[in-house]
Amino acid sequence: MASLRSHAPIPRALQSLSRKRPQNLLHHHPKKPPKTPQTPLTALRPHRPHPSPSPADQGPARGRRGHGRPPARRSPVPQESPRLSRATLSPIHRTGLPKARLDSSGLHPALDTRNRRRGRRADHPSVHFLDGLLRLQWTIPFPSNLCYRLHEARRLFSDSFTSNASGISDFQRIKLVLDGCKAVAIRSSMELEPEWLELLPKLYDKPVIPIGLLPPPTTTMEGSRGSGGNDILDWLSEQRSRSVVFVALGTEVALSSEMLHQLALGLEISKVPFVWAFRKPAGSLNHEGLLPEGFEERCKRYGIVARGWVPQLKILAHESVGGFLTHCGWGSVVESLHFGLPLVMLPISVDQGINARMIIEKGISVEIERNEEDGSFTKEAVAKALRGVVVEGEKYRKRAGGLKDVFTDKDRQEKYVNAFVRYLHEL
């Protein structure tokens, strides 16, 4: 589960919540039993029946649902582990305070948790592989092609059931959080994925609250430029409108040396102008030898490889940029659509594959073709996707531009946050 991006603003409604009524959240012994609040999703869609309370609403699951869990750990979590274990969750449960889980990755956590809660994994007999794709094992009441690729499923579920430094497995950690909360808040909106937001309460058996897309604030674009920022923006100003692709794969994505080479060569043979926010793989001491020999010299007329800080939001907002090659982290997807840009997608791990499939269904992106077994890809596949979106992709630009209004409507986004705050007040 991804965390909220640091540039997301704290809306006025949330500030007022902490200022005006802290006693509602911090009082350990409420005088009256809490009433069941109306969820923001119910308010947005009045015809949807409110889900009935589940046993999980009363705290951590016990008895049959808790069968097979390890005994409670009373030792502190190792400092080197950022993960939540039973030792850190149990004191939270004992306070008796209402709890809500925040998923900032759109619809993915529900799909992921649903499979994990049923004990499914890539080598489990209850999982069916059809045409190289891992199909979700429950009925979706509307047309959808959302699925994990085989290589994604293997990577995602390979260690989900093995205890790690926290003392429990990722599966157990996620289930503890989900069972112990009263509601799930998701960084999404009814305008972007209405069908899924209607379905999620049935999968979770508890209220699901969209808190809006939390797009980047315009004030972020007014900040100072770092080293190289001026040069990049000046170079972009010399390019044709919507002719450049911005390439950025996040801060935690680790591509193999072969993948980096194929990506670079794909950029080269596509002849699409590019700005690449390049980060060396984890474990590499320097940038030498990571790119094909002579690549930067051959591409210097129509491409920039930026190894330091880059003004990402200003690049995405620039008139000459016509597409975003991304790993499909939810924050990057939101930023791209905020500026009306179609995407070239190279998902690597966790929620990114499902994010990519969802955006494909919206008709605003192309995913780089990959080997289903190991996730490898070729330079030809990279070039084909790039040209399909940036050079020949007028239809993708029109559809992405249509969604831009949803992302830039501040009043609409504020309504979601206000509805979430009202729900918290009523807990």
| Most trustworthy range by pLDDT among 73-77, 219-223, 343-347 | 343-347
| Phi-psi sector, 104: left (phi>0), alpha (psi -120 to 50), beta | alpha
Q: How many domains does the chain have?
A: 2
Q: Which of 76-80, 107-111, 172-176 has the lowest mean pLDDT?
A: 76-80
State residue 165's pLDDT score. Answer: 85
Whether residues 282 and 362 fall in one domain:
yes
Average pLDDT estimate for 29-38: 48
Give this prediction's pTM. Answer: 0.72
State residue 289's pLDDT score. Answer: 74
Q: Closest Cα to residue 182, out of 252, 119, 111, 96?
A: 96
Whether residues 45 and 75 fall in one domain:
yes
pLDDT at 371 over 90: yes
Alpha helices in 239-310 (DSSP H): 257-270, 295-299
Residue 134 banded pLDDT, cuts 50, 70, 90? very low
pLDDT at 266 over 60: yes
8 A C-beta contact, residue 262 and residue 341: no
Which of the two residues, 311 and 1, has the higher pLDDT score? 311
Boundaries of domain holding 392: 220-408
In a domain, 96, yes or no: yes
Of 167, 183, 211, the residue that ends a domain is 211
In a domain, 71, yes or no: yes
Whether residues 182 and 43 fall in one domain:
yes
In a domain, 8, yes or no: no
In a domain, 339, yes or no: yes
Q: Give the helix/strand (H/E) hosting 343.
A: strand 343-345
Whether residues 185 and 246 fall in one domain:
no
Average pLDDT estimate for 40-66: 44
Average of per-residue pLDDT values in the chain: 76
Whether residues 192 and 250 fall in one domain:
no
Of 180, 211, 242, the residue that ends a domain is 211
In a domain, 418, yes or no: no
Burial of 134-168, coded b for 16+ CB within 10 Å and e otherwise, reads bebeeeeeeeeebbbbbbbbbbbbeebeeeeebbb
State residue 397's pLDDT score. Answer: 95
State residue 107's pLDDT score. Answer: 54
Whether residues 175 and 274 fall in one domain:
no
8 A C-beta contact, residue 52 and residue 136: no
State the Rg of the chain over Cα.
23
Amino acid identity for residue 2 in this structure = A
Whether residues 293 and 386 fall in one domain:
yes
Whether residues 192 and 165 fall in one domain:
yes
Give all strands of the β-sheet with 133-135 in edge-to-edge order: 129-130, 133-135, 147-149
Whether residues 181 and 248 fall in one domain:
no
State residue 38's pLDDT score. Answer: 62
Q: What is the pLDDT of residues 151-193, one digit of tens each?
A: 998 888 877 788 888 888 888 888 888 888 999 999 999 999 9
Whether residues 164 and 47 fall in one domain:
yes
State residue 242's pLDDT score. Answer: 97
In a domain, 25, yes or no: no
CATH number of the domain encompassing residue 228? 3.40.50.2000
In a domain, 3, yes or no: no
Of 169, 189, 211, the residue that ends a domain is 211
pLDDT at 305 over 80: yes
Whether residues 348 and 402 fall in one domain:
yes
In a domain, 349, yes or no: yes
Which of the two residues, 388 and 38, has the higher pLDDT score? 388
Whether residues 39 and 188 fall in one domain:
yes
